[in-house]
Structure 1
Amino acid sequence: MYLSFMRYNHRYTFKADIEGFKVNDEYAASIDEELYKPVVTLENVYCLDPDDKFKFVAIGAELNYGKQLAQLGQLAKGETIQFNARIVSPWAHKLQEDLRNPTKVSIIKPLMKERYPVPDSEKLRVGYIMEVNGPMNGQPYDSHLVHQYDNWCDIYGCKKGFATRQSNTKPSTTIRQNRCHKHYGTDSN
């Protein structure tokens, strides 16, 4: 992902299609534990060049699923979003660069009429993604986080059926108070 006008650690305007969601397992040396991080996977990534034309830059990329993206509500595969982000490559040998710190995020090709909210809490967004993806796809799955997301849906009157339709799994309806074995970022929720 690089065009002649692009420089690392600079912000650019991108547009891309939503491919899906995943949870990355990242090691946090400061606490000596793994953290779950919510991620939106993108395909058909374009960048706005200095002549105000979108140029193709990558088949796929990852975008941290932060609060700005969550404020859009639930996203569907195939929808097109536009956003500003910083291009970073923390490792010189890394094959796929990441886009970080998205701002000015908007949906420019919506595919649904009714959009349900996504939690502000990073921990609950991880539970949402785990419910969307289900336990059988090779991604991390923590039933405690899925139950916390389901509880959030019940409290705020949100429909969790949308996540279920995305994943073809049955939504959880019971809350289990398990002890969590991982840290989930710095959110207080």
Structure 2
Amino acid sequence: MAAFYWGRRGGDTGKGLSLGGGGGDGGDDDYYFGDFDDGDEGDEGGLFRRRIILPELFDHRFLDAVLNEWQKTMMDLPAGFRQAYEMGLVSSALIVRFLAINTRPTTERFISRRLPQGLSREFIGRMIADPAFLYRLLLEQAATIGCSVWWEIKGRGERIKQEWDLALINVLTAMTCKAIVVWSLAPCRSYGNTLPI
């Protein structure tokens, strides 16, 4: 394993730089990410690539810097989120997730703006806690629809043409129950409205 390494020759870090790359270091240019085995492409991409994770910083200087980067102020945050910000309960990563959902024209923002206020707050709280929540919900719904329709066709057989309304009610009931279960069990970081003192 190779650790983070600034240079091999002690204080000789400025000498021997080559614009052509490679130089005379034996082809070992990648000290930080480690040496890979033959045929291993490292972290070039794919499903299991290395992800850059935003640190959970709670210092107000970092939080203000994040807000400035998005051209927002503390007063642009919702009341509950603003109170959690003032109390130091919100990290820089949470603010980035909230602003990414709430300021960019995304599917999540479209859905949250069409829901009633309480449901919208809970939906955004679930998206902040788990950015893949919407995809999980859609995947569960697709699996539920597929399995329910298959079960109804298998169970009813030739009667499916006469009893399609009952089959449809069963499929919709299964979809609703699955959506309620996924919604209830999903992690949530919801900051509600503040109560007047």
Name the structure where helix makes up a greater proportion of residues: 2
Q: TM-score higher than 0.5 here? A: no
If the length of structure 2 is used for normalisation, what is the TM-score? 0.19
Larger radius of gyration: 2
Name the structure where strand makes up a greater proportion of residues: 1
